[in-house]
Chain A
Amino acid sequence: MIRVQREDFDVGLELEQLTKGNPRIGGVASFIGLVRDLGGGDRVEALTLEHYPGMTERKLAEIEAEANRRWPLDASLIIHRYGRLEPGDRIVLVATASPHREAALAACHFLIDWLKTDAPFWKSEETPQGERWVAARSEDDEATRRWKVTK
Chain B
Amino acid sequence: MRLLYFAWLRAKIGTAEEELALPRGVEDVAGLLEWLKSRGPGYAEALKNLETVRVAVNQDYVGPEHRVRDGDEVAIFPPVTGG
Chain A residues with Cβ below 8 Å from B59 are: 52, 54-55, 58
Chain B residues with Cβ below 8 Å from A135 are: 79, 81
**Chain B min CB distance to A56 (Å):** 8
Q: Are B82 and A120 in contact (CB under 8 A)?
A: yes
B51-83 interface (Cβ within 8 A of A): 56, 59, 61, 75, 77-83
The 8 A-B residue pairs with the shortest CB-CB distance, nearest first, are: A121-B82, A136-B79, A122-B7, A116-B83, A55-B59, A133-B8, A134-B81, A123-B81
Q: Are B79 and A55 in contact (CB under 8 A)?
A: no
Chain B residues with Cβ below 8 Å from A52 are: 4, 6, 56, 59, 75, 77
Q: Are A115 and B77 in contact (CB under 8 A)?
A: no
Instruction: Count A-B pairs with CB separation below 8 Å.
Output: 69
Number of residues on chain A facing chain B (CB within 8 A): 27
Chain B residues with Cβ below 8 Å from A134 are: 81
Number of residues on chain B facing chain A (CB within 8 A): 16
Determine whether A117 belongs to the interface, using a CB cutoff of 8 Å to chain B. yes
A47-62 interface (Cβ within 8 A of B): 49-52, 54-55, 58
Q: Assuming A55-B59, A58-B59, is B79 touching A115 (CB within 8 A)?
A: no
- A-facing mask of B23-51, CB < 8 A → 1, else 0? 00000000000000000000000000000
Q: Are A120 and B78 in contact (CB under 8 A)?
A: no
Chain A residues with Cβ below 8 Å from B4 are: 52
Determine whether A124 belongs to the interface, using a CB cutoff of 8 Å to chain B. yes
Other than the given A50-B6, A52-B6, A122-B7, 10 more pairs (CB < 8 A) read: A54-B59, A55-B75, A91-B83, A92-B82, A116-B82, A121-B82, A122-B81, A122-B82, A124-B7, A136-B78
Chain A residues with Cβ below 8 Å from B75 are: 52, 55, 120
- Measured in the bound complex, the distance between the Cα atoms of B78 and A123 in whole Å is 11
**Chain B min CB distance to A111 (Å):** 10
